[in-house]
Amino acid sequence: MISRRDAALSLDIPLEMAQRHGIPLRLTETELADIEANPPAWLVQSRANRTGKRPIWTQLRCYICDYSEAARPKKWWPAFDYVICAQHNPDELPSPAAGCSRREYEGIGTRFVGITEQPARPPQG
């Protein structure tokens, strides 16, 4: 048996959509395979409406300890160079590339910090 959340991940749809269209709390792998093989009209329409710009689900994986979770990306998330669990220290990561600085984004998934590297700005003056 698999959960509704795992079915939503597999179908690449929001959990709310799975619930709204009657995906049960638990279903068998055969039932999920049947939905994939013969998608209902709402699923076909949902897939046709996608712009392809941002995935419905993304897999977050800690660079340091390899902890992983699936999450729905937010519009404000940039493309992260690293994702680490909040309890890790960013000093545990490899040093930034020469001439680059890092920016941290808290609140990624349930327990992560996203980190981007950008070229350092030259001093103004």
CA dihedral (94, 98, 101, 107) in degrees, to 10, reads -30
The reply to whether the predicted model has a pTM over 0.75 is no
Q: Is 109 exposed, middle or buried (0-12, 13-18, 19+ CB in 10 A)?
A: buried
Q: What is the pLDDT of residues 42-95, one digit of tens each?
A: 988 888 877 766 677 888 999 999 999 988 888 889 999 999 999 999 999 999
Contact 76, 108 (CB under 8 A): no
The CA distance from 113 to 105, in Å, is: 5
